[in-house]
Amino acid sequence: MFGSTGGLADYRSALLASRGFATLGLAFFGYEDLPNDMSDVDLDYFEEAADWLLSHPKVQDHGIGAVGTSKAGEIVLAMATYMKQVSAAVSISSYSAISYAPLPYKDMVLPCARWMADQIVFTEDRFANVENQLEDITTEPGIHACIQVEKSHCPILFVAGEDDINIPSVFHANKAIDRMKAHGKTNYTLLKYPGTGHLIEPPYTPHCGFYFHGAFRVYVYAGGEPKGHATAQEDSWSKILGFLRKNIDRREARSKL
C-alpha cells in the first residue's frame, strides 16, 4: 500500500507476487468508488481486506504480511497493533502516529496529530518542504495520536531514510521502538540508511528527490541523493523479502527465488 497521494500503485505487489507471494495491492482512497479524501478512511476496511485475502484457498491462513509506505506505513502499524490477522508488518518512511484525520476502528476512534499548513515551507520555485508539518507528538495533544505499537505481537520492520525531508521517518521509527522497548518488546527491526530520502522503492527505481503530490496539487521535496538512495533500495528490498519469508511463509519447502 502507498500513501497520501491516493489511487492504486501495484508494482510492489506485482514484484512480490513474482517472488512467490500471494499479494493484494490495496487502494484506500482516490480510486474508483473509494472515498476521494483519506479523512473518510477507517481501519475496518483494511481488516476486511486481510480477511478476504486469508479466505482464499491458495493462501496460507495463519496471517498476512502488511507492507505500506508513508501514510500507508502508519496504517500498517495500526493493523499490526489491533489485528490478529497480521503476522508481519513492514512500515516504510512513515509517521509513528495517526496523522491528518482520526482513524475509526470498530467501536473506537484513534485520534490524530494535525497537519499544520503554516509549517509548510515553499521555495522560490514553489516546491514544498513538509518535513515539519505534523503536530508535535511528544507533547499534548499530539502525543495521544501515537500508535500503541507496544500492543503488537507480530514482528515489525521499520525502513527509514536519514535524509527523508518529507517525513522525519528515522525519528518516528525510533519513537515507536522506544514505546516497544519500554514495554519489554523485542519484535522490531530498524533499517535506516544515510543519503536516503522518502520514496524508498524496489531496486533500480530511479531516485526521486521530489514528486508531484496528486492530492494536494503541489510538488513536494522527498530528499536523498542518488547513490545512497539506490544502495538503500537494493539492500532494503532483499531484507524485506527475507523478513516476509521468515514470518509469513510456513511451507516446509520454500522457494529459492
At 237-247, the pLDDT tens digits run 999 999 999 99
Mean pLDDT of 126-149: 91
pLDDT, average across residues 160-180: 96
C-alpha to C-alpha distance for 124 and 121, rounded to whole angstroms: 10
The residue with greater pLDDT, 183 or 28, is 183
In the numeric block, the cell 507528538 is attached to 137
Q: Could you confirm whether 118 is annotated as catalytic?
A: no
Task: Give catalytic status of residue 229 as yes or no.
Answer: no
- Residue 215, pLDDT > 90, answer no
Q: What's the confidence (pLDDT) of residue 4? A: 79
For residues 225-238, average pLDDT: 97
* Pair 16, 78: CB distance under 8 Å: no
Strand 210-213 and strand 218-221: pairing?
Answer: antiparallel
62 is catalytic: no
pLDDT at site 253: 47
Question: pLDDT-derived band of residue 252, with 50, 70 and 90 as boundaries?
Answer: low
From the candidates 198, 207, 229, 236, give the one annotated as an active-site residue.
Answer: 198
Q: Alpha carbon of 159 to those of 51, 52, 57, 91, 239: distances in Å?
A: 26, 27, 31, 6, 10
C-alpha angle 218-219-224 in degrees, rounded to nearest 5:
150
> Half-sphere exposure of residue 220, counting CA atoms within 13 Å on the CB side?
22
Give the pTM.
Answer: 0.92
With 80 as the cut, is the pLDDT of residue 104 above it?
A: yes
Write down the catalytic residue from 70, 87, 91, 169: 70
Split at pLDDT 50, 70, 90, the class of 148 is very high
Which residue of the set 4, 13, 163, 164 is catalytic?
A: 164
Distance from CA of residue 28 to its chain's centroid?
13
